[in-house]
Structure 1
Amino acid sequence: MSGTAAQRRAYTVVGGGAIGGTIAFHLAKAGHPVLVVDQDTEHVGAISDQGLGIRRPDGRVERQPVRAITPDGADALPATGGGLGAVVLAVKAQATDPAVRWIAPRLAEDGFVVSLQNGLCEEQIAAEVGERRTVTAFVNLFADLVAPGLIADGGAGALVVGELDGRVSPRVERLVTDLRAWGPAVAHPNVAGHLWSKQSYSVVGATSALVDVPIHETIEAHPDMTVALAREVYAVGAAIGVHPESFDHWEAGAFAVDAHLPYTRQVLADFCGWLRTQPKNKTGIWRDLAVRKRPTEVPAMLAPVLRLADDHGINCPGIRTVVRLIGELERGERRMDESNVTEVERAVSGR
């Protein structure tokens, strides 16, 4: 190993699925020592035996040697001079609490946890490790865990990193430099604005999982519902002083209450056109329901929004309906069907 490689920061990636696995692969490829910690023993075994694989859109599979363990295997961790230094947390939103409880006693005093998750998980993380050791981030990529040890490449996406107080600190700058091994990572003073914009899109993505069609088809068939759902999220964010940021082709300004309707419709059309170019046309929520037959992260992901809506007296009938319907799908009480989307449409229109 060269002197430069030897100085590269070591990373522990907790949650080796679509997001965590993608980041772990690229960090390792760039020469960083990487440890993946994941609950799935079959996934961990495949990574240990074959390396962590990325399947490119043309079908090529690249593999990178990466060390992987389950949380129970933590006793085998080597001494690290005071604990884990840089931790990338990439578990599903509902797994945040147990994951952070696992991390906290192992985290170095000068270490940190950066959340590359869906939802608003930083408050839970900071409650365990402290705000000083919590870094906030927004990530949007279209990867998929398609088999143990193998992730389908999601192509270029967006990754924004910052401190909880909005500073772009030296550790954020270094982290961003490292994460550029994956793609276009940037430091930004308003990560919260990006996270709330993703929440607005995530509600729409969750709605698309209520019926077995690509995301863009749901938006194109139900543009007014899409706008109404996004506005519910943005209204709650505005109540706590969040200034929304745009990402990819999701233009936050198009969902303002006073936005010019032709502008909003054009933004939705452009966004759907961009979605058509992506290698993945359905959400991880859909995959959890239709393929993996397991609970989704939707209730945990949207719980902070609904809690804040209650605190500020904001009505969110669309979000509440989506969460309820997802729960019924998880429990096998209903099937993926267009009538589910119609129910959300009725909720946002007050019918």
Structure 2
Amino acid sequence: MGPRIAVLGTGANGASIGADLTRAGLDVTFIEQWPAHVEAMRERGIRVQMPEETIVTPVTVLHLCEVATLRQPFDLVFVLVKAYDTRWACELIKPYLAADGLVVGLQNGMSLDDIADIVGTDRTIGAVIEVSSNMFDPGVVNRQSPPSRSWFAVGGLSAAAQARAGEVAAVLGHAGTVEVSDDVRSSKWMKLVANAAELVPSAVLGVPLAEAIAIPGMKEFMTEAGREAVRACLAAGSRVRPIFGMTDARLDDPEQYAEQLFDAVLGHFTLPDTRTTVLQDWMKGRHSEVDEINGLVVAVLGAGSGGAPHNARVVDLAHRIEAGELEATPANAALLLA
């Protein structure tokens, strides 16, 4: 009998990954906080629209308030809430986690320590996710990178957890290519390097990523934000290591590798109309993960000219947009590039 699996947070990425696991015949329960989305999935299943095909999958789904009705523990929990929601989500699911159960943080940012603080390092699996998708209607996911073009890395925070990372990789392999990392903290930093360059800087302009980099000076600005992030990674005690299966990674030149990571995202995981998750959040009137991404770079290096001035500028404009003082428009390029 296979593991009992929960997908905690079934937005665009969580729902599409959960659907992949369900179609593989695994025992999967969706847990979701958007009531209309829950009801749509109960009525019609989850509809995942991909470039080559559309698949509708019937799923088992619970409202957050129904978690208290659970009687059987989960062996494996994939957490796909926003990074800033990690702690409460892990507290919610902790009573329903098997004694030897694992929690996998399939999120942006460095949420692995928050997970470990709640459920313990031996039950924490860090993960890197590279999936392009969006959701604007309940029950419907637009997945731009199907499993054949989705990529993950997993690894444990302790020796005991690392010994079981292969179990997680085998399950997640139904949703994309999976690598077992021998240093998942560093792997997550590498994804943060790519995210610092692309997620918020392009969202500040209010346009898809491909349009953002076409604005004169923006690709260079975004690349510098990534380079600052790789310096923060090294300053935090982590190391440069390959992700996305990049066999040509310039590990001997960290700042050149930051540019390679950004180019890999643009070349392999992005379509012409891809909007980053941050822009999607703002389009829905939601708070973004800017503090967990660009804000972390600033926290490690500082905001001044010797620290992370590009990321600091991104954080400042993002906060002004979320406060309603600015709109996300291409005109903000002048503020970023000033």
TM-score by length of 1: 0.84
Instruction: Give 2:153's aligned residue.
Output: 160
Q: How does 1:109-258 map to 2 (within 5 A)?
A: 109-153=99-143, 154-155=145-146, 156-165=149-158, 169-205=162-198, 206-220=200-214, 221=216, 222-248=218-244, 253=250, 256=253
40, 47, 55: which one pairs with 2:34? 40
Partner secondary structure for residue 229 of structure 1: helix
* Deviations, residues 294-329 of structure 1 (Å, cap 9, x unaligned): 21122234444333335xx96212212212211211
Instruction: Give 1:101's aligned residue.
Output: 91
Q: What is the identity percentage for the equivalent residue pairs of Structure 1 and Structure 2?
A: 26
Aligned counterparts of 1:8 and 1:212: Cα–Cα separation in 2: 44
Aligned counterparts of 1:322 and 1:281: Cα–Cα separation in 2: 20
Aligned counterparts of 2:86 and 2:260: Cα–Cα separation in 1: 37
RMSD: 2.8
8 Å Cα contact 2:213-2:219 kept in structure 1: yes
For the structure 1 residues 105 and 317, does the alpha-carbon distance in structure 2 shift closer, same or farther, using more than 3 Å as the test?
same
For the structure 1 residues 152 and 328, does the alpha-carbon distance in structure 2 shift closer, same or farther, using more than 3 Å as the test?
same
Q: How does 1:56-75 map to 2 (within 5 A)?
A: 56-58=50-52, 60-75=53-68
The aligned length equals 330
Task: Write the letter of the residue equivalent to 1:10.
Answer: R
For the structure 1 residues 265 and 96, does the alpha-carbon distance in structure 2 shift closer, same or farther, using more than 3 Å as the test?
closer
Deviation at 1:189, TM superposition (A): 0.6
Q: Is 2:281 the partner of 1:288?
A: yes
Task: Write the letter of the residue equivalent to 2:150.
Answer: G
Task: Write the letter of the residue equivalent to 2:82.
Answer: K
Task: Write the letter of the residue equivalent to 1:90.
Answer: L
Partner secondary structure for residue 19 of structure 1: helix
Which sections of structure 1, spanning at least 5 residues, go unmatched?
1-6, 347-351
Aligned counterparts of 1:91 and 1:307: Cα–Cα separation in 2: 23
For the structure 1 residues 255 and 150, does the alpha-carbon distance in structure 2 shift closer, same or farther, using more than 3 Å as the test?
farther
Instruction: Give 1:322's aligned residue.
Output: 314
Partner secondary structure for residue 204 of structure 2: coil
Aligned counterparts of 1:323 and 1:39: Cα–Cα separation in 2: 27
Deviation at 1:166, TM superposition (A): 7.0
Deviation at 1:121, TM superposition (A): 0.2
Partner secondary structure for residue 253 of structure 1: coil
For the structure 1 residues 303 and 50, does the alpha-carbon distance in structure 2 shift closer, same or farther, using more than 3 Å as the test?
same
For the structure 1 residues 228 and 275, does the alpha-carbon distance in structure 2 shift closer, same or farther, using more than 3 Å as the test?
same
For the structure 1 residues 159 and 45, does the alpha-carbon distance in structure 2 shift closer, same or farther, using more than 3 Å as the test?
same
8 Å Cα contact 1:122-1:134 kept in structure 2: yes
Aligned counterparts of 1:234 and 1:223: Cα–Cα separation in 2: 17
For the structure 1 residues 64 and 343, does the alpha-carbon distance in structure 2 shift closer, same or farther, using more than 3 Å as the test?
same
Partner secondary structure for residue 2 of structure 2: coil
8 Å Cα contact 1:19-1:116 kept in structure 2: no
- The structure whose Rg is larger is 1
Partner secondary structure for residue 126 of structure 1: helix
* Deviations, residues 176-218 of structure 1 (Å, cap 9, x unaligned): 1111111111212122232112212212221001113331343
8 Å Cα contact 1:289-1:295 kept in structure 2: yes
314, 326, 331: which one pairs with 2:323? 331
Task: Write the letter of the residue equivalent to 2:33.
Answer: Q
Partner secondary structure for residue 100 of structure 1: helix
For the structure 1 residues 169 and 283, does the alpha-carbon distance in structure 2 shift closer, same or farther, using more than 3 Å as the test?
same
TM-score by length of 2: 0.87
11, 24, 30: which one pairs with 2:18? 24
* Deviations, residues 54-105 of structure 1 (Å, cap 9, x unaligned): 11214x431222111111111322x22xx32210000011211211111122
Aligned counterparts of 1:75 and 1:308: Cα–Cα separation in 2: 39
